[in-house]
């Protein structure tokens, strides 16, 4: 069985901090000094220079290398929680994975080993509470953005509603040809035509064969023809043909 290894992790966000090196040096010395207090020696220090904390550990160059070498029984030391993780959600996810791999994580600013001693339960409880608050804030922001986009008639993704297309500015704008088809279908339905009959007429007149389910949705969502012209399509092409009631 391979011997236990001790790793350190340090990170700075800006290139200036990385060039000056002071912050990195302090972090590395702090980790090394902490290890000595435990009778350990840091075998390798992973140093992330000019990397934003908003990037998950698994997507950072040194972070990926670190996660790749960790094995059961290893010890990972970092001076501060925010050097390693981007958020409480990220921290909970990585901590759970490290515990499952039997890797001890020591965060000096939180008192030491957060995966295997009495501090662990407290840290996980606090992080869970903070993570839930983060989830709530994320949901609230998403809801606000969607509400604003909807009020501005913006396309929010998914299937574009029949009768519309996405404009260059991201707004839903009427599609003239589909709006004509919708008006024709609505007028035929108002005249008593069945879905199958309407389907046949639309294919003949507009070259579009809609499934019965799609046609049902079109009829449910289509705007009614302009008031005063119930028997004419919206393009002014004259009377709309009547069809027999056929299923």
Residue 15 contacts residue 50 (beta carbons within 8 Å): yes
Active-site residue among 13, 23, 104, 120? 13
Total count of residues recorded for the chain: 247
Residue 10 contacts residue 32 (beta carbons within 8 Å): no
Instruction: Describe the strand order of the beta sheet including 44-48 as a list of residue ranges.
Output: 44-48, 6-11, 75-78, 104-107, 112-113
Distance CA(25)–CA(42), nearest Å, equals: 14
Which tokens in the block code for residue 53?
Answer: 């904390």
Which tokens in the block code for residue 57?
Answer: 């550990």
In the residue annotation, 13 being an active-site residue is answered as yes
Judged by phi (left if over 0) then psi (alpha if -120 to 50, else beta), residue 3 lies in beta
Residues with a known catalytic role: 13
């Amino acid at each position: 069985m391979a011997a236990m290894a001790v790793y350190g992790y340090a990170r700075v966000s800006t290139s200036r901090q990385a060039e000056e090196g002071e912050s990195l040096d302090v972090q590395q010395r702090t980790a090394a000094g902490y290890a000595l207090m435990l009778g350990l020696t840091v075998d390798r220090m992973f140093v992330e220079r000019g990397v934003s904390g908003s990037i998950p550990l698994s997507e950072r160059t040194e972070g990926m290398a670190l996660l790749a070498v960790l094995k059961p029984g290893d010890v990972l030391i970092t001076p501060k929680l925010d050097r390693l993780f981007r958020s409480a959600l990220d921290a909970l996810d990585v901590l759970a994975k490290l515990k499952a791999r039997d890797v001890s994580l020591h965060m000096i600013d939180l008192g030491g080993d957060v995966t295997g001693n009495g501090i662990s339960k407290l840290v996980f409880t606090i992080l869970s509470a903070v993570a839930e608050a983060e989830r709530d804030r994320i949901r609230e922001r998403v809801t606000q953005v969607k509400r604003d986009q909807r009020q501005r008639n913006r396309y929010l993704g998914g299937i574009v509603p029949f009768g519309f297309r996405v404009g260059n500015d991201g707004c839903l704008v009427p599609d003239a040809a589909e709006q004509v088809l919708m008006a024709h279908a609505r007028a035929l339905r108002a005249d008593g035509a069945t879905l199958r009959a309407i389907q046949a007429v639309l294919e003949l007149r507009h070259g579009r064969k809609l499934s019965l389910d799609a046609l049902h949705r079109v009829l449910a969502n289509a705007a009614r023809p302009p008031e005063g012209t119930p028997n004419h399509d919206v393009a002014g092409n004259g009377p709309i043909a009547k069809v027999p009631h056929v299923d």
